Amino acid sequence: MSQDGPNRAFSSSAEAVEALFETVGGARSALIVTHDDPDPDAIASAMTLAYLLEQRLGLKATLAHGGIIGRAENKAMVRLLAIEIRPLREVDPPRFEVIALVDAQAGAGNVGLPQEIAPTVLIDHHSDVQSEVKGVPFVDIRTGCGATSTILTNYLKAADLVPDRRTATALFYGIKSDTMGLARGAGESDVEAYLYLLPLADTKILAQIEQAQVPLAYFRAFERALERTFIYHDTVICSLGPMDWPDLAAEMADFLLRWEGARWIICMGLFDDEIVISVRTNDLESNAGRVVQEVVRGLGRGGGHSLMAGGRVALDGQSPRDVVRQLRRRFLLRLGREESEGEKLIQESLRPNLIQ
């Protein structure tokens, strides 16, 4: 769905770009905000919107997010591409004339903007079931795209603006990471954008990003996670415990989805007094975003799209173990699995005897 306000659909990216320029034209300052813990797609989309506004309108924008950038690849992307993106606590949103949300939506619960600050621009590819778009001057939500980076790539093409190597590299990685190299939720527009960006991107920097080194805590966290993973027929639930960075839940979910019997992967971990949830599925007839929203209803916030989703539930004085147990029961009930059929991924009897 592409919209300008709640009722208008854009017929093309050229029309969308024209409406975008009409919306923000004349502004002297812009703040571009991603979801709280931005992934490569969010970072690339924010960077590209800033590039577009500066190149075509002379409007310089500030990039911000409400959480942290914790995953090694995401840190490497920001560092190697010299992307300036700041924590929201370091900026003053009310002083900006334009507030843009990219790869995120107002009301979805994963944006650190104060509730009283309404966005001017909203560009995203996730399901808008729980979003608040009424009164937003410019809205472009394309659930048929596998990445918001695809939308921004089409904006550049519509504006007759060829991305520089830095921007092309970010966009290419944004699409590649969000669609798992076009294998997850990618449509025709994603494929076209991917192939368009490939010769423009810096493959050496891409290799450095994708092979970013990780700290020792990363391997220890993975070992702990595998020991706390249970299989319920074709559904895998992993309780990570305390996490040093919130992206670990998503990393673990992506890793476990490689199990050949997997249909649903649910990973949960504790970060900053919240249970962070990451869900993956390869069931094309289901919708991970809706499943998460139904499971966390009344407890927290969540959403996503057909094959991947996430959510957060505040502890509010409860023990992490109790909250995780409640969520596990809700997920199993929603997916029609029995708690009694669960078995550990790593059986003690299968551990090899190591020679000391």
Q: H/E/C letters for each residue in 162-200?
A: CCCHHHHHHHHHHHHHHCCCCCCCCCHHHHHHHHHHHHH
Picking from 247, 294, 291, the residue whose alpha carbon sits closest to that of residue 269 is: 247
Q: How confident is the model at residue 63 (pLDDT cuts 50, 70, 90)?
A: very high
Region of poorest pLDDT, from 62-66, 300-304, 317-321: 300-304
Measured CA to CA, the distance from residue 221 to residue 79 in angstroms comes to: 24
What topology is assigned to 13-209 in CATH? inorganic pyrophosphatase (n-terminal core) (3.90.1640)
Judged against a pLDDT cut of 80, whether residue 226 lies above it is answered with yes
CA–CA separation, 113 and 301 (whole Å): 15
| Range among 117-131, 191-205, 219-233 with highest mean pLDDT value | 191-205
CATH code reported for the domain at 216-344: 3.10.310.30
Given pLDDT bands bounded at 50, 70 and 90, which one contains residue 276?
very high
DSSP string covering 132-152: --TT-SEEEE-TT-S-HHHHH
**pLDDT value of position 46:** 98
* Residue position matching structure tokens 């969010």: 42
pLDDT band at 334 (very low <50, low <70, confident <90, very high): very high
Higher pLDDT, 6 or 86: 86
Confidence band (pLDDT; 50, 70, 90) for 184?
confident
**In whole angstroms, how far apart are CA 34 and each of 62, 106, 154, 268, 277?**
11, 11, 19, 22, 18
Distance CA 9, CA 32 (A): 23
Rounded Cα distance between 331 and 100, Å, is: 33
Break the chain into its structural domains and give their ranges: 13-209, 216-344
Residue 2 has pLDDT above 90, yes or no: no
Task: Tell me the percentage of the chain whose pLDDT exceeds 70.
Answer: 93
pLDDT, residue 222, reads 86
Tell me the residue length of the chain.
356
Is it the case that residue 292 has pLDDT exceeding 90?
yes
- Read off the amino acid at residue 24: V
Say how far apart CA 240 and CA 221 lie, in whole Å: 8
Which whole number is the average pLDDT over 193-221? 94
pLDDT tens track for 233-245: 999 999 999 998 8
Say what the pLDDT of residue 119 is: 95
**Does the pLDDT at position 89 exceed 60?**
yes
Q: Is the model more confident about 304 or about 72?
A: 72
**pLDDT band (50, 70, 90) for residue 36:** confident
Query: pLDDT tens digits for 118-166?
Result: 999 999 998 755 566 778 999 999 989 999 999 999 999 999 999 999 9
pLDDT band at 352 (very low <50, low <70, confident <90, very high): low
Please say whether the beta carbons of 235 and 246 come within 8 A. Answer: no
Q: Residue 316: pLDDT above 80? A: yes
The three-state secondary structure class of 81 is coil
pLDDT band at 306 (very low <50, low <70, confident <90, very high): confident
- H or E stretch including 300? none
Structural contact between residues 247 and 270, judged by C-beta atoms closer than 8 angstroms: no
Higher pLDDT, 348 or 185: 185
For residue 71, give the nearest of 228, 250, 225 by alpha carbon.
250
- Please compute, for residue 94, the number of CA atoms within 13 A of its CA located in the half-sphere on the CB side: 3
**What's the average model confidence in pLDDT over 290-317?**
90
Token look-up 């996730």 returns: 126
Residue 181 and residue 20: Cα distance in Å, rounded? 29
Alpha-carbon gap, residue 69 to 76, rounded angstroms: 10
Beta partners for residue 84, in sequence order: none
CA distances from 196 to 49, 150, 168, 185, 311 (A): 18, 10, 9, 18, 33
Gyration radius of the chain over CA positions: 20
Please give the pLDDT value at position 349. Answer: 53
Is pLDDT larger for residue 290 or for residue 266? 266
